[in-house]
Structure 1
Amino acid sequence: MTTHLEVLQNALATALGERVSTTVALGEITLVVKAADYYGVMQTLRDDAALGFDQLIDLAGVDYSEFGGEGAWDGLRFAVVVHLLSVKHNWRVRVRVFAADDDMPLLPSVISLWRTANWYEREAFDVMGILFDGHNDLRRILTDYGFIGHPFRKDFPVSGYVEMRYDPEQKRVIYQPVTIEPRENVPRVIREENYGTK
């Protein structure tokens, strides 16, 4: 007897063929697809009756630059991970696609397939700097419009580049270079001899 997961694996293999590589771990299927095949694969996942992935649950950008420790990762740096749900068949799949260019990560938008991708793609652009070709409103969604950089990238400084404060003389909010001095906090532990014995 085949399990629910094996039925999904067979349906994915039949519909997608060599366009994806499939891994199964912890009862979940992950499809890795090339950037050039991304939109076509996503359209097949939605439109193929045997698959029927009608809902995009999540889309997130990932920076793999420090994955696995110092210098362990030698693949492409930026990826988008998408989680899809088929209500009809009651199964889920994860799709991972790597942007071909680390300097300007660009992937096709899937808004025309799932409208819910709109804000997720905006978030991935805002915090990771991943661009989505065909997105009709790709602008910042979490950070300020004047924000410089992408704060979830591994090379973004923890303190940021600028800080914001209200200037009472100008009567407005201004941006200025960060004035925080980096420092190391060492916790001080105080132990009492008779603590908890009373």
Structure 2
Amino acid sequence: MSVELIQPSVLQETIARVLGDKARSVTLALDEVTVEVSASNYLQAMQLLRDAPECKFEMLMDLCGVDYSAYKDVGTDGPRFAVVSHLLSISLNQRVRVRVFCQDDDFPVLDTLSQLWASANWLEREAFDLFGIVFEGHDDLRRILTDYGFIGHPFRKDFPLTGHVEMRYDAEQARVIYEPVTIEQREITPRIIREDHYGGLH
């Protein structure tokens, strides 16, 4: 039996009512509902979204870190790091996006969601590895994509494109060795190709 799709505006009102003052905002754009919560209300709000009968978001589909540091270049000032999650309700056929900003740019910390959704385990490890966001209460928070001893967090906007170290196999030592990067920094300028009569213009 198929479940009727709930109108986005109705979902927006429902979530706003369920979360109350635990939501900083519940907005609707392009037929998608986005909830923003503060770090202090993050865990409670996510539990309400999972358990409230009108929400029933049984599945955490995705969770990722975001580095907003480049926004300061265009005059937008605010916290640097955020976590964005996408939730799905199979039983009610609805989706929602949740964003939460970390309070401290130097040491970004949020509560873990791994007790609410098992899928948060690896997703939070990825956000920790790539952005350096710490998830308090996570029982196995370690790197998941980068190598042992990796320095830094490669998805941060200030991480150098060349990285800090390079590795190669040394035949004499019969093992992989790590060395400082020898690649010179270079400006990446896109090539612009314009053919004759490009786009039908003469």
Query: Do both share a fold (TM > 0.5)?
Result: yes
Q: Which runs of 5+ in 2 are unaligned?
A: 1-5, 196-202
> Aligned to 1:107, which of 101, 107, 110?
110
Distance apart, 1:54 and its partner CA: 0.4
Paired letter, 1:131: V
2:31 maps to which residue?
Answer: 27
State the alpha-carbon separation in 2 of the partners of residues 188 and 52 from structure 1. 49
Residue 139 of structure 1 aligns with an amino acid whose one-letter code is R
Shift of residue 152, structure 1, vs aligned partner: 0.3
TM (norm. structure 2) is 0.87
The Cα shift of 1:145 comes to: 1.6
| 1:89-128 to 2 correspondences below 5 Å | 89-128=92-131
Contact residue 8 and residue 28 of structure 2 kept, 8 A: no
CA distance in 2, matches of 1:8, 1:188: 44
Q: Check if 1:159 corresponds to 2:137.
A: no
> Aligned to 1:18, which of 6, 18, 21?
21
Contact 1:65 1:73 in 2 (8 A): no
Name the amino acid aligned to 2:82: A
Does residue 58 of the first structure (1) align with residue 36 of the second (2)? no
Q: Structure 1 segments of 4 or more deviating over 3 A?
A: 183-189
Matched residues in 2 for 1:149 and 1:167: separation? Answer: 25
Give the equivalent residue in structure 2 for 1:85: 88
What amino acid is the match of 1:39? L
**2-side partners of 1:165 and 1:134: how far apart?**
37
User: Which residue of structure 1 aligns with residue 3 of structure 2?
Assistant: none
Describe the SS at the equivalent of 1:103. Answer: coil
Shift in CA distance, 185/51, structure 1 to aligned 2, threshold 3 Å: closer
* Distance 1:184-1:55 versus aligned 2 partners, 3 A rule: closer
**Structure 1: gaps spanning 5 or more residues:** 192-198
Report % sequence identity. 59
Point out the structure with max Rg over C-alpha.
1
Alignment correspondent of 2:73: 70
Measured on the aligned residues, the alpha-carbon RMSD in Å equals 1.9
SS at match of 1:66: helix
The 3 A distance-change label for structure 1 pair 188 and 30 is closer
**Offset of 1:18 from its aligned partner?**
1.8
- Report deviation, 1:151: 0.2
Whether the 8 Å CA contact 2:12–2:28 is kept in 1: the answer is no
Instruction: Give the aligned residue type for 2:89.
Output: S
2:79 partner letter: L
In structure 1, C-alpha distance between the alignment counterparts of 2:70 and 2:187, rounded to whole Å: 22
